[in-house]
Amino acid sequence: MKFKSLTLVAAFAAVSLGATLGVTAAKAQAKEQFFPVLVYRTGAYAPNGVPFANGYVDYLKYINARGGLNGVKLTFEECDTGYATDKGVECYERLKGKGATLFHPLSTGITFALTDKVLADKIPLITAGYGRSDTADGMAFRWNFPLLGTYWTAADVLVQHIAKKEGGADKLKGKKIALVYHDSPYGREPIALLQERSKLHGFDLSLLPVAHPGVEQKATWLQIRQSRPDYIFLWGWGVMNSAALKEAVATGYPRDKMYGVWWAGAEPDVKDVGVNAKGYNALALQHGAEKDSKIVKDILALVHGKGQGTGPKEEVGEVLYMRGLISAMLGVEGVRAAQERYGKGKVMDGEQVRWGLENLNLDQKKLDTLGFQGVMRPISTSCADHMGSSWARLHTWDGSKWGFSSDWYQADDQIIRPMVRASADKYMVEKKLQRRTSADCQ
């Protein structure tokens, strides 16, 4: 046999292995704050992952174009997780070694896996609008920041909206609500809250899981055809959302009785269905498509105008692009808050960034200067409250674009707080951890 070629192959393998073992942690250079970017530009969820990633990276470029963060340049590196938990953990390990001081895992499954790891690595984990709902309890989860809302607040707002539509929470009794969900930690997360609410109001909750990636939903919609629920909550991601809408069209289920979570309410979800999806509602994580906002115009001028844009120019300002933008902004503002305490123009470490995120205070004035007026409401976090804000509203697809269709809602703390507390306590016991003391909050 060709022994020579074999030796070559072996030598190549040995060299690459050696290179892997010898990778030394490249420390962040002076005056450079490293932002890891966990994204998925490939795989089944890429249509939704790409606009998010573009918005995220564009914001970092935008900050650099404006001279960095008090003079500190932001550097970043992407790692493609493909929405797979094991790959996400690998990406985390890879970018952690390069001096990462905060992570956006962009997947609830990855968040679950990383929650344990950040504890030892001392790196804050920002999960804006996703992740573990119980991590809103900052006294238990020191390093997790589910900023702007969790799936429990999302589900709560949806129930409130429906109660209002029906003319009062007591009218929910006997109503049938079906949750069509992505069968992953993401989709299962709201179940606990919906069960709690169904006990409270006496509505009938049926759970209809859809397996990854969500293209095959015939069986689910057969059940819906039979049971005819009054409302459907759609907890899908990626291709699952448009598949669900197409099935709804085929089944003849009224789209205006369907309510998606904020990850099921963007352009890629409805574009394929187009006019047929008219009337479909989804939560907005405060913002919708914001093409007229100041920040979008600034980015078009300073980033895309200079040929530095990450994605197609037309998609700037779409829903998921804005989500990425806001996520990046929250991280950057966390670092800025940390700088204000630990020294402006310095490079922050994980512990300092955590302090900054915990003491985030974006009031209306601050949002105006950042260019986010009208895009989101003020948010402020504290030691005990790592979520900062649970405001949300709904938007509706009119066949060609998303438009807001409801007032602002706030999740009901009376219901959510005890649940968060109980779940966090259970986690503490399982992991044999202690709650933080108030002295730790300084």
Residues within the interface to another protein (CB under 8 A) = 1, 3, 6, 16-17, 19-25, 39, 41-42, 46, 50, 53, 77-80, 82, 85-86, 89-90, 93-94, 96-97, 108-109, 112-113, 115-117, 120, 133-134, 183-185, 188-189, 191-192, 209, 212, 423, 427, 430-433
* In the complex, minimum distance from the CB of residue 265 to another protein, in angstroms, rounded to a whole number: 21
* In the complex, minimum distance from the CB of residue 318 to another protein, in angstroms, rounded to a whole number: 19
Closer to another protein by Cβ: residue 257 or 417: 417
Closer to another protein by Cβ: residue 17 or 215: 17
* In the complex, minimum distance from the CB of residue 60 to another protein, in angstroms, rounded to a whole number: 14
* In the complex, minimum distance from the CB of residue 380 to another protein, in angstroms, rounded to a whole number: 27
- Say if residues 284 and 259 touch (Cβ distance below 8 Å): no
Closer to another protein by Cβ: residue 190 or 371: 190
Closer to another protein by Cβ: residue 143 or 402: 143
Amino acid at 175: K
* In the complex, minimum distance from the CB of residue 13 to another protein, in angstroms, rounded to a whole number: 8
Q: What is the sign, positive or negative, of the torsion defined by CA atoms of 355, 356, 357, 361?
A: positive
- Say if residues 324 and 307 touch (Cβ distance below 8 Å): no
* In the complex, minimum distance from the CB of residue 152 to another protein, in angstroms, rounded to a whole number: 9
* In the complex, minimum distance from the CB of residue 89 to another protein, in angstroms, rounded to a whole number: 7
Closer to another protein by Cβ: residue 90 or 340: 90
Q: What is the 3-state secondary structure (H, E, C) of the chain?
A: CCHHHHHHHHHHHHHHHHHHHCCCCCCCCCCEEEEEEEECCCCCCHHHHHHHHHHHHHHHHHHHHCCCECCEEEEEEEEECCCCHHHHHHHHHHHHCCCCCCECCCCHHHHHHHHHHHHHHCCCEECCCCCCHHHHECCCCCCEECCCCCHHHHHHHHHHHHHHHHCCHHHHCCCEEEEEEECCHHHHCCHHHHHHHHHHHCCEEEEEEECCCCCCCHHHHHHHHHHCCCEEEEECCCHHHHHHHHHHHHHCCCHHHEEECHHHCCHHHHHCCHHHHCCCEEEECCCCCCCCCHHHHHHHHHHHCCCCCCCCHHHCCCHHHHHHHHHHHHHHHHHHHHHHHHCCCCCCCHHHHHHHHHCCEECHHHHHHHCCCCCCCCEECCCCECCCCCEEEEEEECCCCEEECCCCEECCHHHHHHHHHHHHHHHHHHHCCCCCCHHHHC
* In the complex, minimum distance from the CB of residue 233 to another protein, in angstroms, rounded to a whole number: 16
* In the complex, minimum distance from the CB of residue 222 to another protein, in angstroms, rounded to a whole number: 19
Closer to another protein by Cβ: residue 39 or 295: 39
Closer to another protein by Cβ: residue 203 or 235: 235
Closer to another protein by Cβ: residue 15 or 250: 15
* In the complex, minimum distance from the CB of residue 18 to another protein, in angstroms, rounded to a whole number: 9
Closer to another protein by Cβ: residue 194 or 360: 194
Closer to another protein by Cβ: residue 20 or 438: 20
From CA 192, how far away is CA 130, in angstroms rounded? 15
